[in-house]
């Protein structure tokens, strides 16, 4: 039998921690819990925080830049698949940042903006999934409708299972080395 990789072990830890947190909070959404664990695992590699580039090759780093790119695709009749990927990333990124690093997001006065745009992004993904006849639209609709609840659950998980203080996104890789 193959030994699990570091990434698989990390995913297992995040799945356990999110499921336990959801149980504590009486949130009975196993698919959402597993999805959030997958988002955490994905963002464990910090280069995954900023995967998109604009037309000039520049890295798109802010939610506003990503929204502009997605809206331009929408208005110009661009690829629905790329628009979906960008909007999904916006939802994932805002969920991650607002849930794991709320102090950092609040210091930048972006918390309510992230809650609004994260929910809208997941709603758009659910609509695009329906248009593209992709499975999973219901998962993203649920994330959109109860986005703030899931941000709070992620923050609860952080406080319960991450002993270190996570004040800044640059702290996340350091913490992961200790898990």
- % of the chain exceeding 90 in pLDDT: 72
Per-residue pLDDT reduced to its tens digit, 15-35: 999 999 999 999 999 999 999
More confident residue, 122 or 75: 122
pLDDT for 14 beyond 60 = yes
Per-residue pLDDT reduced to its tens digit, 75-90: 887 789 999 999 999 9
Dihedrals φ, ψ of 78, to 5°?
A: -70, -170
Q: Is-contact 157 21, C-beta < 8 A?
A: yes
Rounded Cα–Cα distance for residues 169 and 127 (Å) = 30
Rounded Cα–Cα distance for residues 21 and 12 (Å) = 14
Q: What is the pTM of this model?
A: 0.88
């Amino acid at each position: 039998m193959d030994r699990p990789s570091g990434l698989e072990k990390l995913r297992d830890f995040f799945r356990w921690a999110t499921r336990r947190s959801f149980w504590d909070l009486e949130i009975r959404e196993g698919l959402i819990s597993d999805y959030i664990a997958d988002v955490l695992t994905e963002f464990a590699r910090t280069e995954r925080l900023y995967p998109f580039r604009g037309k000039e090759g520049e890295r798109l780093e802010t939610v506003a830049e990503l929204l502009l790119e997605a809206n331009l695709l929408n208005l110009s009749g661009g690829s629905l698949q790329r628009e979906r990927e960008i909007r999904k990333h916006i939802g994932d990124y805002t969920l991650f940042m607002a849930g794991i690093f709320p102090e950092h997001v609040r210091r930048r006065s972006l918390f309510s903006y992230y809650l609004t745009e994260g929910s809208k992004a997941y709603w758009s993904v659910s609509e695009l999934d329906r248009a593209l006849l992709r499975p999973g639209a219901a998962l993203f609709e649920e994330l959109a409708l109860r986005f703030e609840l899931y941000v709070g659950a992620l923050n609860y998980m952080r406080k319960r299972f991450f002993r270190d203080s996570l004040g800044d996104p640059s702290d996340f890789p350091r913490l992961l080395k200790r898990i």
